[in-house]
Structure 1
């Protein structure tokens, strides 16, 4: 459970005693002693870095902390350091603390920084946790697994999108709803930047939105060539709901995030393009009305 930040105190137990021991050891050295051992997680505590469907649009991630020790732990500041990002990821809500009872887990939401495209895709995340106790606090550092394997693909997509800006910028710029049975129109605007060439191959359907009979191999074909000096292009994508069960709209997380297939420097790739919060609301309302379960 995440709570507003205040210096919560552990009941005396294994976790609090562990932090106290680390603090005592850190302060008892004398000149000439061997270097102090870096503090690590209490035995039985593990961390993972995951990204849920709801985290994709705002570029959040979750630090999943599992407390397999015999005592509760309290976590203050959290940051994720990874060479694939230009800065550490920190708590979305600064100043909060999270108490993790023994045998339980907690997810701490962090905000991802912009990617660093000078870094390779094969870096590894490291999580730094501030552990709070009655007699103070200490920072511990631990390697974090990425069980869903989301960081490397995210880095690759966003760096591809950054490289694409040498040729063009892409954005969804308008939406026109339709009556039930007729396709709506989603406006995609492509603005050449004059510095490179690329091909916008097509736009893939989502788990909520399809393009009706215009879909080929799961995508709406465009084959739009971008050349230096060309003017802007506006394409209207014909939208129809892929499904009409109410919970698909009520629980939507990625239905308005479209994968766009491109070719850049002769190589195929994909970028993600979100319609934005305002247009997302318009599209979800249209799906509900089109399917007959809107208010």
Structure 2
């Protein structure tokens, strides 16, 4: 992909992007000698489903860098994320409008793509669900279950489960769905980790819990513990009652 004179772009995933989910910053720099304005941005990558351009208004002068929050589509796992481009609508000082494909340095996008496709692959062997969450005194309890998803009969092990700033979580792991078994389950217990105002106000991902999954001795892959809105509300009730 040929460079575009006077414009460079890098995909960067910030902590706020992780918290929001489904977006990165397209960091655009005016490397030329003239100003311009960007009025829309999109990610053009073979490894992600295309999304409509996002309207923005960002004025650039020579040397200026601006981060443009830009969503990305679902991972397309039969192709790589790179080469990628930032599709920018650029308005020049004389009023001319151009739609440009600017080569995008996309190491963060490649990492996101790799992680998403690895998680999708292990969950295709055995899915993960959380059921029966209920507030019991000073804890929320429930069940973590893994269920075989298709014809792949390999053993699947849930290796570990991590809490976060607001919640500790306990489960009797590792637990293995043995070859040929259809499901395996283990109890879950969530308790409050912190109640201080700073933690409550600043935590960006209060319901993110990282679960390790390993298929038949392969490298561990991490997936997000799946919690629907009702289950998140139950955890919030725990916070309300404890804090």
Q: TM-score under structure 1 normalisation?
A: 0.66
Deviation of 1:229 (Å): 5.0
Alpha-carbon offset, residue 277 of structure 1: 4.3
After the TM superposition, which residues 1-295 of structure 1 pair with which residues of structure 2 at under 5 Å, given as runs? 40-42=4-6, 45-56=7-18, 58-67=21-30, 72-85=35-48, 87-91=49-53, 94=54, 96-102=55-61, 105-120=65-80, 123-133=82-92, 134-146=94-106, 149-179=107-137, 182-196=138-152, 197=154, 198-211=156-169, 214=170, 221-228=173-180, 230=182, 232-273=183-224, 274-290=226-242, 292=243
Say if 1:81 and 1:235 are closer, same or farther in 2 by CA, change over 3 A. same
How far the C-alpha of 1:250 sits from its partner, in A, is: 2.2
Structure 2 unpaired stretches of 5+:
none
Check the 8 A contact 1:167/1:192 in 2, yes or no: yes
Distance 1:130 1:187 in 2: 49
How far residue 41 of structure 1 moved from its aligned partner, in angstroms, is 4.7
Q: How far apart are residue 61 of structure 1 and its match?
A: 1.8
Contact residue 177 and residue 184 of structure 2 kept, 8 A: no
TM (norm. structure 2) is 0.78
User: Which digits, 9 at most, give the CA deviation of each residue in 1:26-45, with x for residues without a partner?
Assistant: xxxxxxxxxxxx78253xx4
**Residues 31-64 of structure 1: CA deviation (Å, up to 9, x unaligned):** xxxxxxx78253xx43221223343353222212
The CA deviation at 1:235 is 3.2
Counterparts of 1:40 and 1:107 in 2: how far apart (Å)? 18
Contact 2:192 2:238 in 1 (8 A): no
Residues 1:46 and 1:241: Cα distance change in structure 2 (over 3 Å): farther
How many pairs does the alignment contain? 236
Higher gyration radius (CA)? 1
The one-character-per-residue Cα deviations of 1:13-36 (angstroms, maximum 9, x if unpaired) are xxxxxxxxxxxxxxxxxxxxxxxx
Provide the secondary structure at the position in 2 that maps to 1:157: helix
Contact 1:80 1:126 (8 Å CA) reproduced = yes
Question: Which residue is equivalent to 1:35?
Answer: none
- The offset of 1:241, in angstroms, is 2.7
Distance 2:8 2:24 in 1: 16
- Structure number with the higher strand fraction is 2
CA RMSD of aligned residues (A): 3.1
Quick one: distance in 2 between partners of 1:225 and 1:239? Answer: 23
Partner SS, residue 220 of structure 2: strand
Q: Encode CA deviations 1:213-270: one digit per residue, 9 max, x unaligned.
A: x57xxxx62322244452x444331112333322322222233222211111421222
**Structure-2 change in CA distance of 1:235 and 1:265 (3 Å):** closer
